[in-house]
Amino acid sequence: MGTLYAYFGSLSELMQSLWREPVRHLVAHMEVLASEIDCPKERLRALMQAYVEFSGKNASVFRNSFLFVRPEAVEPPPQVALETDRFFQLYRTTIREGQRSGMFREGDLDELTQTVISAIHGSLALPINLHRLALDPSDKIPNLMIVAMLDWLVLSGE
């Protein structure tokens, strides 16, 4: 165990090292998608779909990085400000552009962004976290959530 701490200062650092690279790849993929799609609605759809696909293709990483419930004895990782988190900013920038174009509803940008991310994340997490319910573990519900979030965010006629 002493050798382990020669490389990692804590158990939390070790755990983060296991998922850091796959999450970087996800964000890089999402950045490419964002740069290729001009329409805010279609870009937001692609960002949410990329997250859904990541959760399926990287189930272990998804569970351990996005669903990890940290025991109280494990030191929490340092929080990152929303303004500096690339994942959050991809969604935020897309929603801001949709608002500026008149395509998306008005509202507090950070609240709208958190709502969209929470909705898609929740649709992925629920079947994993609530084992007692026979919820559909496929991509069906997350894909319905993508449609629901776009229907909620996009103003009629777009």
- Please, what sign has the CA dihedral across residues 105, 110, 112, 116? positive
Cβ contacts of 99 within 8 Å, gap of 6 or more: 105, 106, 109
Which domains are assigned to the chain? 4-153 (1.10.357.10)
pLDDT band at 23 (very low <50, low <70, confident <90, very high): confident
Kindly report, residue by residue over 50-62, the tens digit of the pLDDT: 999 998 898 887 8
Count of positions (residues) in the chain: 158
pLDDT band at 151 (very low <50, low <70, confident <90, very high): very high
Q: Is it the case that residue 4 has pLDDT exceeding 60?
A: no
Q: Is it the case that residue 104 has pLDDT exceeding 90?
A: yes
What pTM value is reported for the model? 0.84
Q: What percent of the chain has pLDDT over 90?
A: 53
Q: Is it the case that residue 66 has pLDDT exceeding 90?
A: no
